[in-house]
Amino acid sequence: MDNSAVVHLIDDDEAVRQALAFLLTTAGHAVRVHDSAESFLQIAHAAQPGCIVSDVRMPGLDGIGLLRKLKEIGITLPVVIMTGHADVPLAVEAMKAGAVDFIEKPFDDEVLLSAIRLALSRHGETGQRDAEQARIRARIDALSERERQVLDGLVAGHPNKTIAYDLALSPRTVEVHRANVMIKMGASSLSDLVRMALTAKLQHQ
């Protein structure tokens, strides 16, 4: 890992900012904190290399807006999005807008640290990300046809009932497939699952 890499932390909540900066410092990261997406954008061109960890819900420009703005002005720092209330449409939007990862608050320190490792490795070399994508693809390949259809429905943000209707299954059967998908994919949450599915798909395209 590049030791000069800096984690640019953006969150409007002061307590969260301080706590995360403290955690990342104890884990050996150099951290710069910013209280809004706008204040980061002001220094973005001069920002030290590394990655961005940003909250999604902020007054003014939100996390998704930040991703779009960065793309627009040609800043390629990888971005990890944090969200306090993960819903699938938001996750899909974040990943499509170019987030490397998105994690749901509150999170275990390892979840954040591995997301940052992934982001920094993407910035440095794409090897680790490729390995991760290969792992996910292998897991998706191990799903049954039905399970893959259920996964597609989940990633599209549909509730169980809708998926059941579309596939002409009972909601109960969808629940069982959904549970199997979670286990086979090794996903810890629905957002984790969506992240994996999108990571694999992005590589695919």
Partner 1 sequence: MSPSSSNDDARSRLAAIVESSDDAIVGKTLDGVVTDWNRGAESLFGYRADEIIGQPITLIVPPDRRAEHVDILERIRNGERIDHFVTQRNRKDGSIIDVSVTISPIYDADGRLRGASKVARDLTERQEAQQRMQELQAELIHVSRFTALGEMASTLAHELNQPLTAIASYLKGAGRLLDAGEPSGIGMARDAIERAAQQALRAGQIIRRLREFVSRGEGERQAENLAKLIEEACALALVGARQSGVQVSMAFESTSTHVLADKIQIQQVLLNLVRNAIEAMQEVDRRDLALSTRRVDSDTVRIDVADSGPGISPEIAGQLFQPFITTKQAGMGVGLSICRTIVEAHGGRIWVDPNPGGGVIFHVTLKTIDIGELVHG
Chain residues binding partner 1 by CB under 8 A are: 12-13, 15-16, 18-20, 22-23, 25-27, 57-60, 82, 84-85, 87, 105-109, 112
**Cβ at position 15, least distance to partner 1 in Å:** 4
Smallest CA-to-CA distance from 65 within 32, 99, 42, 31 is with: 99
Q: Are 91 and 102 spatial neighbours (Cβ–Cβ below 8 Å)?
A: yes
Which residue number, 57 or 146, has a Cβ lying nearer to partner 1? 57
Which residue number, 13 or 166, has a Cβ lying nearer to partner 1? 13
**Cβ at position 135, least distance to partner 1 in Å:** 26
**Cβ at position 103, least distance to partner 1 in Å:** 10
* Residues 6 or more apart whose Cβ sits within 8 Å of residue 70: 44, 52, 76, 77, 79, 98
Residues in the chain: 205
**Cβ at position 62, least distance to partner 1 in Å:** 9
Distance CA 91, CA 198 (A): 9
